[in-house]
Structure 1
Amino acid sequence: MEITLNHLIVPAADKDVAAAFLAGLLGLDVGAPSGPFAPVRINDGLTLDFDDRHHAQPGHYAFLMDDGTFDALLSRLGADPSVEYGSGPWHGWDRRINHLGGGRGVYVRDPNGHSYEFFTAVP
Structure 2
Amino acid sequence: MPVTFNHTIIAARDRHESARFFRELFELDEAPSWGLFTNVQLDEGVLLQFAEPPVEIQMQHYAFLVDDELFDRAYRRIDDAGIEHWADPRMTRPGEINNEHGGRGVYFKDPAGHFIEMITRPYL
For residues 54 and 19 of structure 2, the distance between their equivalents in structure 1, rounded to whole angstroms, comes to: 16
Indicate how the Cα distance of structure 1 residues 32 and 92 shifts in structure 2: closer, same or farther if over 3 A, else same: farther
**1:94 match:** 94
For 2:80 and 2:27, how far apart are their aligned partners in 1? 13
3-state SS of paired residue (1:63): strand
Q: Which of the two has greater strand per residue?
A: 1
- Tell me by how many angstroms 1:31 deviates: 2.4
Q: Could you tell me which runs of 5 or more consecutive residues in structure 2 were left unpaired when the two chains were aligned.
A: none
1:18 aligns with 2:21: no
What is the one-letter code of the residue matched to 2:88? G
Query: What's the CA shift string for 1:60-80, capped at 9, x where partnerless?
Result: 001111111111111211221
1:42 maps to what in 2? 42
Alpha-carbon distance between aligned partners in 2 of 1:40 and 1:92, rounded to the nearest angstrom: 31
State the Cα distance separating 1:16 from its structure 2 match: 0.8
Counterpart of 2:73 in structure 1 is 72
User: TM-score, normalization: structure 2?
Assistant: 0.86
Aligned-pair Cα RMSD in Å: 1.8
**Contact map agreement 1:30 1:38 (CA 8 A) in 2:** no
CA distance in 2, matches of 1:53, 1:91: 27
Q: Provide the TM-score with structure 1 as the length reference.
A: 0.87
Structure 2: which amino acid aligns with 1:71? D
Residue type of the alignment partner of 1:9: I
Q: Deviations over 1:31-55 (max 9, x none)?
A: 2322210001121331100010332
1:5–1:45 contact (8 Å) kept in structure 2: no
Structure 1: unaligned runs, 5 residues or longer: none
Alignment of 1:103-122 (within 5 A): 103-121=103-121
CA deviation map 1:64-100 (0-9, x unaligned): 111111111112112211x222212133571210122
Q: Relative to 1, partners in 2 of residues 1:30 and 1:85: Cα closer, same or farther, differing over 3 Å?
A: farther
Question: Residues 46, 93 of structure 1: CA spacing in aligned structure 2 closer, same or farther, 3 A cutoff?
Answer: farther
Instruction: Tell me if structure 2 keeps the 8 A contact 1:4–1:45.
Output: no
**Partner residue of 1:61?**
62
What residue is the counterpart of 2:28 in the other structure? 28
Q: Distance in 1 between matches of 2:93 and 2:7?
A: 28
